[in-house]
Structure 1
Amino acid sequence: MSNTRKRATQSDVARLAGVSPAVVSTVIRGKSNHNIRVSDETRLRVLEAMKQLNYVPDVVAQTLAGGKRRIIGLFSFEAVFPKEQNDFFRPFLLGVEKAAEANGYDLMLFTSAPVKNGRRAIYSDGINRLALADGVVLLGRNPAPEDLQRLDDEGFPFVYIGRKDAPDRSLSYVAADYRRATLDVLAQFSTQGHRHVLYLGETKPIERHHDREAGYQDALGRELIDEDATLVHRCDVKDLDAAWLDGVLSAGATAAVVEDILHAEQLYRLLVERGLSVPDDFTIGLLGEPDAPTELNLDWCGFTIPREEMGFQALISLLSRLERPLAHAAMQVTLPCTFHPGATLAPCPAFTA
């Protein structure tokens, strides 16, 4: 899809709304002055015209001569900016900061966005708040798909940290290679004799979960583990109980790879309550890293995510987009994860018998 069509101007908005450009400017600033008073009816007419034209106001350009401001925005759809040294999101932000400093750019944090349906929204009254920056690095677990598609339609430069798909288009992102990382974990399981491996995941999978399950399917295709459809489970944590564990063990599972920390910890508790040892009787692999403090604080087998490198590369990719404003292709970068043996991996009991 081409993102190079001419952007609407304040004059276009004024013409459609039947007002002067000064009135449009006043509406954008959000307040009247002693020279110009804007009624609610007129304000709504201007906002509707902006919406129809997909007008993106460039607030800074109203006062500057023009050109790049060398400001990169950083926006999260959830409140993820770190308060603790060991916060999961902190390395992403450090990577972005290092890349911005190395390239002579300032960072602007957008933290006061309106909340809609439990997540922050980029657009308020039809206005793209991110237009204060030359481009933006986006992050967050649950973005608003309509906001990403609208940014792409407007040609506003952005790069997402994490793989993001959208209908009928390609979006720019920097992601971890969860598919390969999951395959690497299962290859290690295979060398330890584990052939019957449970796959345990979320009930509403998104891109990062699909990538992990694809890695599990790759392991099946390479015959690293045995195929058994009864060992692929997507269920709520509350549904993991003693009866559920009975079914898993009856199917012959000696190990599990788990998408998230809540499911992994519940599986661990059930095994311990059954009198089984992790990892001597049952191996667990966590497909990633906990994104919040955990109750058990175990050293999980799994992989580490190159979070700081992802943040760094996201900003570098964004700068590349800014240097090639007429390029149509999305920039998509995937970075490798690193296997971590942890303390929850051991040989299959039957393998050592």
Structure 2
Amino acid sequence: MAPPERRRRSTQRDIARRAGVSRATVSLVIGGGAASARIAEPTRRAVPAAAEVPGCAADVAARGLKGGRNRPLGLHTFESVFPTDLRDFSCPFLLGVEEQTARQGYDLMLFCSDGSAPGTAGTERSIHAGGTNLLKIADGCVLLGGNVRREELSALVREGFPFVLVRRREVDDGELSYVAADVSGTAGLVAEPARLGHPCILYLRVPEDTEPTRDRALLVEPTEDNRFTEAPVTTAGTERVRFPEDCSPALLGDPPSWTPEFRNRTRLSPPRAETAGDAVRVLVELLDQETPEPRQPTVPCAFVPGDSVGSVPTPGGRPPT
């Protein structure tokens, strides 16, 4: 029995010829966004009609013109975030995105290229590699990671492309949609050592000026490891400082790759899986709106008592910190 004849996939050149327009026009209509609004309505209707021709298989972007959705959501990571094991800092984020995407009835596409030639991948990832928004083959995108390029966020805003960030970010070009941890619980975490009699609290943070870092005192970034949170303990240990007898550290965040050999820090724990899942939910809500408005919900953090904050030493002990 002869195999069934394989239908030839329509190209933008084919669609342009059938619709009587240029390839550039087809690209603008398929890409959508603010640029496509300048194209006459009859032309915008002719392009998707030309994509549906018997005997040809239109590509996914052209098919999406007929029903308005392709049904994939994108996940763009600004740096490598895939976990090495289930204790990895990024793992809950990825699980949250996957679970909520499936629950919403979408498929998930991962965007991780940086525009480099094959075999020469760089360390920074670009959304607009080669001057083109690579995310447009998805209906919308969740953006995850710490090494954010603000100029690219501004470009997405100008294009009108729907996206939601995991964690708060700001740009001058307009309001962004994001889901962030509600760090108002910081006050409660500070109150705990104060309740135990500590008169002095040291504010320690990573050496950068980003929105999440300003939002809370001690931030453990996804790209960091335990060296940041363990460094003060190691250094203090050389001076014979005891924890928590002499000094009581508390974290505004979870240490990455927590394992039992590390102390169970007193901390404010952000719900990473829930935050990422809510980003997907917000993205779908934006896609369902005719004129979407930026959304910026927050997710409460959980206070973890841990064992790293203790009572103030007796008068004969070291000065409390």
Does TM, normalized by the shorter one, top 0.5? yes
Give matches, 1:342-353, under 5 Å: 342-350=306-314
Alpha-carbon displacement from aligned partner over 1:261-318 (angstroms, at most 9, x marks no partner): 5443221112211112100111001221123578972221112110111111111100
Over the aligned positions, Cα root-mean-square deviation in angstroms equals 3.1
Please name the residue that 2:280 is paired with. 315
2:191 maps to 1:191? no
Of the three residues 210, 215, 226, the one matched with 1:211 is 215
* Structure 1 Cα separation of the partners of residues 158 and 24 of structure 2: 26
Taking only the aligned residue pairs, the percentage that are identical comes to: 35
The offset of 1:168, in angstroms, is: 4.7
The runs of 5 or more residues in structure 2 that have no matched partner are: 1-11, 38-47, 49-58, 221-225
Alpha-carbon displacement from aligned partner over 1:72-114 (angstroms, at most 9, x marks no partner): 1011000102232222111111111111111211111112232
The letter for the 2-side match of 1:276 is V
Pair 23,144 (structure 1): closer, same or farther in 2 beyond 3 Å:
closer
Please name the residue that 1:90 is paired with. 91
Pair 190,94 (structure 1): closer, same or farther in 2 beyond 3 Å:
same
Of the three residues 161, 165, 170, the one matched with 2:170 is 165
SS in 1 for 2:199: coil
Of the three residues 277, 285, 305, the one matched with 2:270 is 305
The letter for the 2-side match of 1:265 is E
2:310 maps to 1:337? no
2:96 maps to 1:131? no
- Asked if the contact 1:193–1:351 (Cα under 8 Å) also holds between the matched residues in 2, the reply is no
Please name the residue that 2:185 is paired with. 181
The offset of 1:157, in angstroms, is: 0.5
The letter for the 2-side match of 1:204 is E
SS in 1 for 2:188: helix
* Structure 1 Cα separation of the partners of residues 101 and 219 of structure 2: 32
Give matches, 1:1-353, under 5 Å: 21-22=22-23, 60-63=60-63, 65-66=65-66, 67-114=68-115, 118-178=123-183, 180-213=184-217, 258-260=218-220, 261-292=226-257, 297-327=262-292, 329-350=293-314
* Structure 1 Cα separation of the partners of residues 202 and 62 of structure 2: 58
The letter for the 2-side match of 1:111 is C
SS in 2 for 1:78: coil
> Per residue, is there more strand in 1 or in 2?
1
Aligned pair count?
A: 266
The letter for the 2-side match of 1:62 is A
Please name the residue that 1:41 is paired with. none
The offset of 1:21, in angstroms, is: 1.9
SS in 2 for 1:79: coil
- Asked if the contact 2:63–2:70 (Cα under 8 Å) also holds between the matched residues in 1, the reply is no
Alpha-carbon displacement from aligned partner over 1:23-79 (angstroms, at most 9, x marks no partner): 787xx7xxxxxxxxxxxxxxxxx9xxx9xx9679x9733355522111110110001
* Structure 2 Cα separation of the partners of residues 197 and 283 of structure 1: 9
The letter for the 1-side match of 2:145 is G
* Structure 2 Cα separation of the partners of residues 122 and 55 of structure 1: 19
The runs of 5 or more residues in structure 1 that have no matched partner are: 1-9, 15-19, 29-45, 214-257
